[in-house]
Amino acid sequence: RKRQRYVEKDGKCNVQHGNVRETYRYLTDIFTTLVDLKWRFSLLIFILAYALTWLFFGLIWWVIAYSRGDLEHLGDHTWTPCVNNLNGFVSAFLFSIETETTIGYGHRVITDTCPEGIVLLLLQAILGSMVNAFMVGCMFVKISQPNKRAETLVFSSHAVVSLRDDRLCLMFRVGDLRDSHIVEASIRAKLIQSKQTQEGEFIPLDQTDLSVGFETGDDRLFLVSPLIISHEIDERSPFWDVSRGQLERDDFEIVVILEGMVEATGMTYQARSSYQVDEVLWG
């Protein structure tokens, strides 16, 4: 029968959060929320953040020019407007862009006879710097995330249970396709299985550690060539009492997690894969 995966083969966690009522918590950490968004939404918010601020301040510049009567004295050289050469909303919008992006073409320029315009200029300069820092920071973090580095880390499609040095072991293989190495690479394995406690409590997704050499340091990998990761099935292993026939009937999933730092950037990352029951071969 078709089994649902807890973790997909490419490392994506197949878990959807439902009945989340306190959604305001996502807004309290708005930076992480924007970084976690999909690229199409991040680009949309990036464009809207700039376009809306330009339109908002452009509208205010136009309102100031309209309320002062600057638009009624176009071509009157005896009249000192708030902004020279501002003759409508389009030019006010362009002046807003020039102000916030500090382009400064020199055709439209604020005069010293407009105190409200000076205050608005200061506000737009400060707010524009904040928008730049926030949005560019979000895009930089999103671009520099090392998630794609896991694409060149390959796990074997199957795990095997067989003898190794006269001991029964659960083994799988991992390799790196890039020439740049993984620094401080370490690997862990988790058994995801339903469990019922002695008190009768049912735990649908219980996580149990599978030892892959933590005590001996074998979980610290020098991942230059493909390596075989081994879990010895001894008295401490959750597979100690499991026969071959029972293994084929069980419903569990083994999640393997490889963590390390990218040598080129120094950023930490995590690569994941999983093995379901039909992907564990006996012998």
Query: What's 237's domain CATH number?
Result: 2.60.40.1400
- Please check whether residue 187 is in contact with residue 164, taking contact to mean a CB–CB distance below 8 angstroms: no
pLDDT score for 47: 94
Clarify whether residues 186 and 248 are in a common domain. yes
| Residue 147, token pair as written in the block | 């998630």
The answer to whether the beta carbons of residues 232 and 162 sit under 8 Å apart is no
As for how many domains the chain has, the answer is 2
Please indicate, yes or no, if residue 15 is contained in any of the structural domains: no
Is 186 part of any domain? yes
* Closest by Cα among 113, 72, 110 to 92: 110
Domain endpoint, select from 82, 113, 144? 144
> Could you report how far apart the first and last alpha carbons of the chain are, in Å?
23
Q: Which pLDDT score, from 0 to 100, does residue 190 have?
A: 93
Does residue 204 lie within any of the structural domains? yes
Whole-number Å distance between alpha carbons of 159 and 229: 10
Q: State mean pLDDT over 101-115.
A: 86
For 136-152, the pLDDT digits (tens) are 998 888 887 777 777 78
Confidence at residue 244, expressed as pLDDT on a 0 to 100 scale: 84
Same domain, 153 and 278: yes
Looking at per-residue confidence, does 150 or 226 come out higher? 226
Statement: the pTM of the whole predicted model exceeds 0.85: no
> Which residue, of 144, 170, 186, is where some domain finishes?
144
Tokens 């604020």 belong to residue = 110
Domain ranges, residue 55? 23-144
Q: What is the mean pLDDT of the chain?
A: 88
Are both 123 and 157 inside the same structural domain?
Answer: no
Which H helix or E strand runs over 178? none
The CA distance from 270 to 148, in Å, is 10
Average pLDDT over residues 70-82: 86
- Shared domain check, 140 and 182: no
Q: Any idea what the Cα angle at residue 83 is, between residues 116 and 129, rounded to 5°?
A: 65
Q: Which residues contact 209 (CB under 8 A, 6 or more apart)?
A: 188, 189, 190, 191
Question: Are 157 and 273 contained in the same domain?
Answer: yes
Cα separation, 38 vs 44, in Å, equals 10
- pLDDT > 90: what percent of the chain? 40
Asked if residue 16 belongs to a domain, the reply is no
pLDDT at 105 over 90: no
- Give tens-digit pLDDT for 1-17: 567 888 888 888 888 87
Measured torsion, CA atoms of residues 278, 280, 281, 283, in degrees rounded to the nearest 10: -150
Q: For residue 2, tell me if it sits in a domain.
A: no
Among 125, 144, 163, give the residue marking a domain's end. 144
Please name which of 101, 62, 104, 53 lies closest in space to residue 83, comparing C-alpha atoms: 62
Do 135 and 153 fall within a single domain?
Answer: no
Q: Using one digit for the tens of pLDDT, what is the confidence trace for 180-196?
A: 888 889 999 999 988 88
Does residue 187 sit within a domain?
Answer: yes
Residue 185 near residue 221, CB atoms below 8 Å: yes
Dist CA 163 CA 195 (whole Å) = 28
Residues 209 and 272 in one domain: yes
Beta bridge partners of 280: 159
* Local structure of residue 274 (DSSP, 8 states): E
157 and 184 fall within a common domain: yes
H or E element, residue 277: none
What is the per-residue pLDDT for 2? 62
**5 lies in some domain:** no
Q: In this structure, what CATH number is given to the domain that contains residue 88?
A: 1.10.287.70
* Residue 182 resides in a domain: yes
Residues 204 and 161 placed together within one structural domain of the fold:
yes
Q: Say whether both 251 and 187 belong to one domain.
A: yes
Rounded to whole angstroms, the Cα distance separating 121 from 50 reads: 16
107 and 207 fall within a common domain: no
Residue 283 has pLDDT above 90, yes or no: no
List, for residues 264-276, the tens digit of each pLDDT value.
777 888 899 999 9
- Mean pLDDT of all residues in 53-71: 93
Shared domain check, 183 and 155:
yes
How far from chain centre, in Å, is Cα 76?
Answer: 56
Q: Report CA-CA distances (Å) from 227 to 173, 276, 281.
A: 6, 21, 18
CA dist., res. 32 & res. 28, Å (int): 9
